[in-house]
Amino acid sequence: MIKIESLTKIWPGITALDKVSFEVRQGSIHGFLGPNGAGKSTTMNIITGLIPPTSGRVFIKNHDVCKERKSVLGLVGFLPEHAPLYDNMNVLEYLKFVASINMVPSREIKKNVDEIIHSCGLLKVFSRTIGNLSKGFRQRVALAQTLVHSPELVILDEPTVGLDPNSVIEIRNLIKSLAGGRTVLFSSHTLHEVDLLCDDITIIGNGRIMRSGNKKKIINDFQTGQVVVADVKKWNDAMATEVKLNMSVERVEYVRKNDHYVVKFFSGKDVDIRHQISKYLVECEADLLSLTEERPGLEDIFQKVTVDE
């Protein structure tokens, strides 16, 4: 759906984007991750044609955004970082206005706007002035304006920033409901959100792409080996040595926590030691309380990629 090739943007004295390249699959929800000032908004503004790149190209459905802007216009719905809302208009008026200036035929405007009001949960406030709405509802209206002309691609720049937890969940569900029919590219630095919503991710830092691709694959790439954590009542050094000698365990660490021990078993990559460990702990009567596998989260990867690299 989107193909970005060697995108570079240089502001006077600052290279905001340095040869950025990645792709967004059709029908996917693609998370665009990066710390503040990494170049997320700049990339999104270039994709939507709001600003031109210094060099490089962006294709949306094989149309070059810079050269064939007209072909791209109706395909994209964009929610910028600052919601573009007219505070003096009411919700219905505003959505009709946005639909009208986005090539929606007159006879379809009412139908589109009605549908969007329902799907974005704006039924309660459709006749209210936007300036009087809560931040959650304002963001919903802003999201509704990106969808009112039925675009195939929806680009959302930090759509949940500054919202209370309930509103965040509502907006997140709304984004989830877009999956399938539309391609969604959304930026965030809330990793939990990206983890919940996205199939694919791109991590950007200092204007350069750090990682891009399938979320599971990226997480897997960062997994150096399996870590199994067991809570047991009994544990000692002799047991640790026995485990290391008889199983595919490379290292064992343990600490005493209140009335039990927390034991960590480290194995090599592509080896599953859960079965061996659980069997051993039961057989040697270590009084097993719990057994879990520790996986690297997106937060670990994000930190590793954006800080370490």
Partner 1 sequence: MRLIKLRETWILFVKEIKDVFQGPLIYILTGTFCLLIGWLFFNYLLGAGRLTSLNMTSAVIVPIFGNMNFMFLFLAPMLTMRLIAGEKKAHTIELLFISNLNHFQIIVAKFMASLCMVLFMLLFTVVFPVILHLSGYSDWGTVGSAYLGMILSIMCYLSVGMFTSSLTENQIVAAFTSFGILMGLMLLVVSVNATNNWMLGNIVQYLSIPVHYESFVRGAIRSYDFVYFFSFIGFFLWLTDRSLESRNW
Residues in contact with partner 1 by CB under 8 A are: 48-52, 73-74, 76, 78, 80, 82-89, 97-98, 100-103, 106, 145
User: Closer CB to partner 1, residue 87 or residue 253?
Assistant: 87
Residue with tokens 């490379």: 250
CA atoms of 8 and 14, how far apart (whole Å):
11
User: How many CA atoms, within 13 angstroms, populate the side-chain half-sphere of residue 60?
Assistant: 26
CB of 140 to partner 1, least distance (A): 16
User: Closer CB to partner 1, residue 49 or residue 296?
Assistant: 49
User: Closer CB to partner 1, residue 49 or residue 297?
Assistant: 49
CB of 155 to partner 1, least distance (A): 10
CA atoms of 133 and 147, how far apart (whole Å):
19
User: Closer CB to partner 1, residue 142 or residue 191?
Assistant: 142
CB of 9 to partner 1, least distance (A): 12
CB of 16 to partner 1, least distance (A): 14
Q: Of 4, 74, 10, 95, nearest to 44 (Cα)?
A: 4
CB of 42 to partner 1, least distance (A): 13
CB of 89 to partner 1, least distance (A): 8
Written as one letter, the residue type at 194 is V
User: Closer CB to partner 1, residue 51 or residue 262?
Assistant: 51
User: Closer CB to partner 1, residue 71 or residue 223?
Assistant: 71
Radius of gyration of the chain (CA): 25
CB of 33 to partner 1, least distance (A): 23
| CB contact burial 241-257 (16+ within 10 A = b; e otherwise) | eebeeebebeebebeee
User: Closer CB to partner 1, residue 36 or residue 106?
Assistant: 106
Q: Say if residues 6 and 19 touch (Cβ distance below 8 Å).
A: yes
CA atoms of 29 and 154, how far apart (whole Å):
9
